[in-house]
Amino acid sequence: MEVEICTVGGYNEVGKNMTAIRVDDEVILCDMGIFLPPLVDLQLEDQEKKGFSSPQLVKIGAIPDDSVLEDWKNKVKAIVLGHAHLDHIGAVQYLAAKYRAPIIGSPYSLQVLKAILEDDHIILPNKIIPTPLDKKIKLTENIDLELISITHSTLQCSIVALHTKKGVLLYATDFKLDNQPVIGNKPNYKRLRELGESGKVLLCICECLYAPKEIKTPSESVAREMLKDVLLGVDNKDKAIFVTTFASHLPRIRSILDFGKRLNRKVIILGRSMNRYIKAAEKLNLIHYSKEARIIPYKQEVAKMLLEIDKHREKYLVLCTGNQAEPGSILDKIVNGKLQFTFHEEDHVIFSCKTIPAAVNIANREALENKFKKMKVRLFTDIHVSGHSGREDLRDFISMIKPEHLIPCHGEASMEGAFNDLAVEMNYKTGKTIHIMHNGQKLKLDF
């Protein structure tokens, strides 16, 4: 059996994830993500991505350059999405239609995708097929698909397992080993160990984002305690409280709702992206946040609500967009006078997130924080734990699944190098069983 990997995107940067896996004459595409910094730059220039064609978005580096797959185009049998983050599904609307293949993922991942397509008035010719986690389905005569449950920072995240006649090919990007998740179950260790003990894991394409960090990434329950300390352990009587986090981080939002209730404050959720991720989960009966909070996605209603909050700030806890100080987010609009709300001295603004390490995000956050400091607002930053595996999680994961070959993904050169060093410690051989790849390259493996 001949296996060939084409590392389309996500091998030079953190984001823009897309990988093609060819098994003999059949190709499976894993993920079609965007790279956010170029899109933030477009917004800073007051340009909309909707006005750009796919080739233009490829040119500025916002979506993967899949021209390298031209000779494989007619062999593609499925587009498989591992989870619902934009750096994994955000380019589907631009790239999927050129492949005569269904789009497959967990029910939640595909519900988010449908919401994005609907918002942007996109109709794709591809069939969209939700599949349950932890069950095998047949993709072709020679390949079965299994989405193995894993923990990350949104719902129904998976490790993609392609079962072939010779063994299993794993695509494991965006995960951590969380033994105390706030929502949902622990990783499916039983299944991962079964695969490792079978000795049939031929290859694992594995995220390397935190490979340089010699840590086990803390559980989401730790972030919950950090939020509890700030929201319940600091005097906020008569002060406005604004919290921002990643819109897709439904476990974090669960904690914010719980502590808002304990403060006897009504939680108000502002922003279209917050609404999109929450409503997608509610349609599947995974959560019921609308019963506990008022969700306001649209500008006119947001403006009215902020006027009410301004008058009675002690009654509300506001959860809103703007964790990266993105242009057009709620926090950005407030501090730049596009939405009316007056922050008072010692009001609380809580960033339950980290700054994504791209130059544009760092600059935007610094500018936003400086404006808050001039208002003498109390800032609480980095109230967060990551959704990505640290070096010691990666070590445990590799030990569990025992792959013959490894390819690091979802990272820059320094991260791939750190992953390589870890693999060498674990008796893999650089260039023989651990392979460093870059965007647009192909690697053949015979089994």
Whether residue 267 has pLDDT greater than 60: yes
Mean pLDDT for 206-214 is 97
Q: Which two tokens stand for residue 231?
A: 């929201």
**Band (51; pLDDT cuts 50, 70, 90):** low
Poorest-confidence range of 47-56, 244-253, 412-421? 47-56
* DSSP structural state of residue 337: T
DSSP string for residues in 357-409? SSHHHHHHHHHHHHHHHHTT-EEE------SS-BHHHHHHHHHHH--SEEEEE
Average pLDDT along the chain: 94
Q: Look at residue 45 in the predicted model and tell me its pLDDT.
A: 47
Q: Which domains does the chain have, with CATH numbers?
A: 2-216+387-446 (3.60.15.10), 220-380 (3.40.50.10710)
Is the CB of residue 298 less than 8 Å from the CB of residue 304?
A: no
Mean pLDDT for 50-76 is 91
**Band (48; pLDDT cuts 50, 70, 90):** low
Q: Look at residue 84 in the predicted model and tell me its pLDDT.
A: 96
Q: Look at residue 299 in the predicted model and tell me its pLDDT.
A: 85
Mean pLDDT for 191-212 is 97
Would the pTM of this model clear 0.85, i.e. be above it? yes
Alpha carbons 435 and 23: distance in angstroms, whole number: 18
Whether residue 47 has pLDDT greater than 80: no
Mean pLDDT for 61-65 is 95
Task: Give the residue among 227, 242, 222, 244 at the shortest CA–CA distance from 378.
Answer: 242
Q: Which two tokens stand for residue 325?
A: 């100080």
The tens digit of pLDDT for each residue in 92-133 reads 999 999 999 999 999 999 999 999 999 989 999 999 999 999
Q: Look at residue 179 in the predicted model and tell me its pLDDT.
A: 97
Whether residue 424 has pLDDT greater than 70: yes
Mean pLDDT for 238-249 is 95
CA distances from 348 to 85, 122, 410 (A): 28, 39, 34
Q: Look at residue 73 in the predicted model and tell me its pLDDT.
A: 95
Whether residue 294 has pLDDT greater than 90: yes
* DSSP structural state of residue 334: H
The tens digit of pLDDT for each residue in 15-32 reads 899 999 999 999 999 999
**Strands ordered across the beta sheet of 76-80:** 128-130, 103-105, 76-80, 26-30, 18-23, 2-9, 441-446
Percent of the chain with pLDDT over 90: 89
Handedness of CA 400, 401, 406, 412 (dihedral sign): negative
